[in-house]
Amino acid sequence: MPDTPAEPIPLDPPRLGAPAIPFRVRTTMGERSLADYRGRWLLLFSHPADFTPVCTSEFIALARAHPRFQALGCELLGLSVDSLFAHLAWLRAIEAEFGVAIPFPVAEDISMAMARAYGMIHPGDSSTATVRGSFLIDPAGIIRLLAYYPMSTGRSVEELLRSLAALQEHDASGLSTPADWQPGAPALRPPPQTLEEAARSATPAWYHQTQPTTRSRKTVKP
């Protein structure tokens, strides 16, 4: 039977800093719900269809990077509007043709209910071509990152890992991460809130002060 969301689907799309929308779905590894991932990070990602070139490349890349996500305490959950049986056939074909076993569950969404709830399909659009979204959900069930890609453009697994590490660095230290930041590199202190705090700065660039971090690069390096 098709998957059934755990709660009524809201009309508003997901937002950064908002609770993730509850779900309960059938997957290639049994039933999964949002509650199952409480206490760990979750990368929820969707793809337009099984047996498509870009999606196949993404699944291979994510499978190979799976240990690195696990090292950061993050689980992966794929989603497609195709059926569970199509998922099973596709994953078996990937293993047979490319020698890569997919170590994470892939959920079916035949009714497109979950895709619509997460803003992967616009209301009134019956096409699944827009279903390529990525959501990083933290251990408390809050959406911390969301991104949508067109059907023709594959995601960067390295950027997903970098973003995950950056969010975890912020949670651990309160620091922000600059452009192109990598784990182990200095991060940015919160800016001064008063003239007195700005005057105490050791550098004229009081609005841009870096600070060493202690998080290891090994958690995201291959």
> Which residues on adjacent β-strands are paired with residue 133?
148
Which is nearest to 127 in space by CA: 52, 49, 27, 46? Answer: 49
Q: DSSP string covering 4-55, please?
A: --SSPPPSSPP-TTSBPPP-EEEEBTEEEEGGGGTTSEEEEEE-S-TT-HHH
- Is 26 within 8 Å of 122 (Cβ atoms)? no
Active-site residue, selected from the candidate residues 20, 21, 44, 55 = 55
Active site residue 55: yes
Query: Which residues are identified as catalytic?
Result: 55
